Structure 1
Amino acid sequence: MDRPVRRQIPATRALLVFDAIARHHGISKAAEELCLTHSAVSQQLRLLETQLGLRLVQRHARGTTLTDAGRRYHAQVAGDLLRLENHTLEAMAQRPDGERLLVGAVPVLAERWLMPRMPRFLAQHRASSMHLQVFPTHIYMEEPAFDIGLQYDDAIWPGATAHALMREECVAVGAPQARGRREMARGDFRAVNLLQLSSRLGAWQDWFAHAGIARQPDNAMAGHRFDLFSMLVEAVRADLGVGLVPHYCVERELARGDLVQVHPFKARSARGYSVFVGQGKADDPLVAAFLRWVLTEAAAGQA
C-alpha cells in the first residue's frame, strides 16, 4: 500500500498569526486583532519559523520587522490566505436548497445585454443563484471554471460545445449636444473627434467603408483611446467625441435620449457571440434551461 503523502503546509493559525504580525509590525497589535495572548502569538510564530527553518521576524525594542525571507514569504502567503477565505465564503454562500449557475461572460455583453434580461430567467428559477464572472477575451484558458459562457465566436474553450448567439451590430453615437450632428447625418465626418477602443483601432475605417462614407477625418485611427466600452460610452456622454459601439451596448442611453445615433447606418459586424457549454455540463438541468432561455432572448432581439 502506498504511503500517504504528507503535505508541507503549516497550520492555518500559524499563517494567520504571521500575516497579522507582518501587517501590524508587532506582536501586541497582532494579538489584539486575533483576540489571543501575546505569548500565544509568539508561540505560533516560533512554531512556524521552526517548521520552515527560517527566521521570519526580527524582534527589537520598537517592535518587529520582517526579515528578507519573511517579506518574501508574506508576499506569497497573504494572497493564498485571501483566496482561501474567498473560497470558504463562496462555499458558505451556496444555498443548500437550491442550485448555483456559474456563468462566464465578456464584461460588456454581461453588463449591457445579459444583466437587464436576467430577472426574467431568475423569476423562472427562484431556487437558483447565479455567479457571474469575467470570461477573458483573447486569453487562453485551459479549463475555464464556468458551467456556461458567453464569448466571441472565436473564443477557445477546449471540450466545450458552442451555440451561435447573435451577430454584433455597431452604430456611431454622440452626445445630444454634439457639434456637427447635421453634417454627420449627411455622411460628413471630417471635423469629428473619433473615440477609439484600444482593441479595435481599425473599426472606424471598416465602418466608414461599409457605410459608404467618403468624407472622413484624415486619420480615422487618431483620437482618445479607451480599454473598455464602458469607458468609451462615458466619454461619449461627456461629449469628448463620437463613439462606435455595439448597438446593444447603448440601447438604454438611446432610448432615454442620453445619447443619439449620429448616422442612421448600422453595421453588421463580422464579429459575433456564442454560448459555450462546458464539457459534461449539457445534461445539467439548470445549464440546459439557461441555454434555452438565452438563445430565445437573442432570437427575440433579432426578430
Structure 2
Amino acid sequence: MRRKIPSLQALACFDAAARHESYTRAAQELALTQGAVSRQITALEAFLGVALFRRTRHGVALTERGADYALQVAPRLQGLERDTLDVMSPQGRSGSLHLAAVPTFATRWLIPRLPLLAAQHPDLTIHIETSTRPFMFADTAFDAALYAGTVEQVSRWAGTRAVRLLAEKVVPVCSPALLGTQTTLTPQAIAQLPLLQQSTRPEGWRQWFDALGVSAPQALSGPRYELFSMTAAAAAHGLGLALVPRLLIETELARGELVVACQQPLPSERAYYLVTPERADERPAVTVFRDWLGQVTGLLKG
C-alpha cells in the first residue's frame, strides 16, 4: 500500500521555515534558494490541503494548523536523522544507546564516568539528550532515561521499569570566602545571608528552614537559576548560598571552590533512577548500560 507521506525535501524545508519563521533563513540553513524553499512549502500545502504559513509584513508566520504540524514533524525528522546516523555508524543500532537525562546529572555525574564505560565496552556509543519530564518511549527514539524524582513520581511513569541508582542528598553550600573564619554556619546565620534559588524547586529553602524550625522571612527571596550547574557556579562565585545535591558538586568540593556551609541536608525522598521501557525483548545495549551503572553505583541488585 502506498503511504500518504509528503516528500522528505518538502518536510525538511517546512521544518526549517517553521523554526525560523522565515523562508530566507530556512534557505540559508538548507543551502537552497528562497524560491526553492517557497516552492517546496507550496507543494506541501497543496498536498495537505492546508495553509501552513500566512504572510506578514516581516515575512511569514505559522498558522494554527501549521504550528501543530511543526510540533509533529520536528521530532520525527530528528528520529529519522538519528536512525540514519546509526545505520551509517560502524557498530550500527545494536551498539548504540539513546539516553534522555536530566541535564546537570548528565554533565556532572554521568559524563565524567563514561570513560570507564568506554574502557569496558568500546563498541557501545551513548547518545545523550536532556529531558526532565516523563514521556512515552513509543513516541521517541530514546532507549532509556536518567530521571530525578520520588518513588511516587517514577511509579506513575506508565509502561516503564525503574531502577533506583542514587539517593539525592541536598546540602547548603557556598564559597569559602562567605564563611570567613568559620568552618560552618548555623541555620539562623544562613537565614540572614543571600540565598540562591532553584527555579525547578522554588520551595527548597523554605522546606529546609521549616524542617529545622528556623524563621527565615527571606527564604523565597534571591536570584533564581534554572539548572543546578548555574546555582553551583553562582555560589562558587560568592553570590550567596545554594541548596545543591552533593553528588553534583563533587569537583567543586574537591577543589575547595565550594564548601558545605551546614551539614543538615534538605529532607527529601528524591533519588536518581534509570527508567527503561517495559518490554520482553530489551536491547542488549540497554542491559549493558544498566549493568554498568550497577557496577558504578554499587547499589543495583541483579
Q: Same fold (TM over 0.5)?
A: yes
Distance 1:10 1:129, change over 3 A: same
1:85-100 paired onto structure 2 within 5 Å: 86-94=78-86, 95-98=89-92, 99-100=95-96
Residue 123 of structure 1 deviates from its aligned partner by 1.7
In 2, Cα distance between equivalents of 1:163 and 1:147: 14
Report the CA distance between 1:252 and its aligned residue: 0.6
Q: For residue 108 of structure 1, what is the aligned residue in structure 2? A: 104
Residue 255 (structure 2) aligns with: 256
Q: Residues 143 and 85 (structure 1 numbering): CA distance in 2 closer, same or farther, change over 3 Å? A: closer
- Give distance in 2, aligned partners of 1:86 and 1:107: 19
- Unpaired stretches in structure 2, ≥5 consecutive residues: none
Distance in 2 between the 1:227 and 1:111 partners?
15
Residues 57-76 of structure 1: pairs in structure 2 closer than 5 A: none
What amino acid sits opposite 1:125 in the alignment? Answer: H
Which 10-residue stretch deviates more, 282-291 or 157-166? 282-291
8 Å CA contact 1:105–1:132 kept in 2: the answer is: yes
- Report what 1:240 is aligned to: 239
Aligned to 2:202: 201
- Aligned counterpart for 1:125 among listed residues 121, 131, 135: 121
The separation in 1 between residues aligned to 2:206 and 2:298, in whole angstroms, is: 29
Cα separation, partners in 2 of 1:33 and 1:295, compared to 1, 3 Å:
closer
Alpha carbons of structure 1 residues 189 and 48: separation in structure 2 relative to 1, 3 Å: closer
Deviation of the 1:142 alpha carbon = 6.8
CA shift digits 1:78-97 (9 cap, x unpaired): 77776565444423322243
CA contact (8 A) 1:142 1:157 kept: no
Q: How much does 1:280 deviate?
A: 1.7
Offset of 1:17 from its aligned partner? 7.3
Partner of 2:162: 162
**Local SS of the residue matching 2:263:** coil
Return closer, same or farther for 1:173/1:17 CA change in 2, 3 Å cut-off: closer
Separation of aligned partners in 1, 2:60 and 2:213 = 65
Which residue does the alignment assign to 2:178?
A: 178
Report the CA distance shift for 1:236/1:11 in structure 2 as closer, same or farther (over 3 A): same
Which amino acid is 1:271 matched to?
R
Q: Is the 8 A contact 1:167 1:269 kept in 2?
A: no
1-structure distance, mates of 2:183, 2:250? 23
**How much does 1:192 deviate?**
0.8
By how many angstroms is 1:267 displaced?
Answer: 4.5
> Which residue does 1:61 correspond to in 2?
none
Instruction: Give the equivalent residue in structure 2 for 1:23.
Output: 23
Judging changes above 3 Å, is the alpha-carbon distance between structure 1 residues 116 and 42 closer, same or farther for their aligned structure 2 residues? Answer: closer
CA contact (8 A) 1:185 1:263 kept: yes
Contact 1:204 1:220 in 2 (8 A): yes
Larger Rg: 1 or 2? Answer: 1
Report Cα offsets for 1:98-154 as digits up to 9, x if no partner. 5111222222221222111121112211112111122323x5547463222221232
Structure 1 distance, partners of 2:52, 2:263, is 66
- The alpha-carbon distance between structure 1 residues 281 and 135, as it changes in their structure 2 partners (threshold 3 A), is farther
Instruction: Report how many residues are paired.
Output: 282
Per-residue deviation at 1:287? 1.3
Question: RMSD of the TM alignment (CA)?
Answer: 4.2
Measured in 2, the distance between the counterparts of 1:253 and 1:197 equals: 18
1:180/1:192 contact within 8 Å kept: no
Q: Give the Cα–Cα distance (whole angstroms) in 1 for the partners of residues 287 and 33 of structure 2.
A: 48
- State which drifts further: 224-233 or 176-185: 176-185
**TM-superposed deviation, 1:43:** 8.1
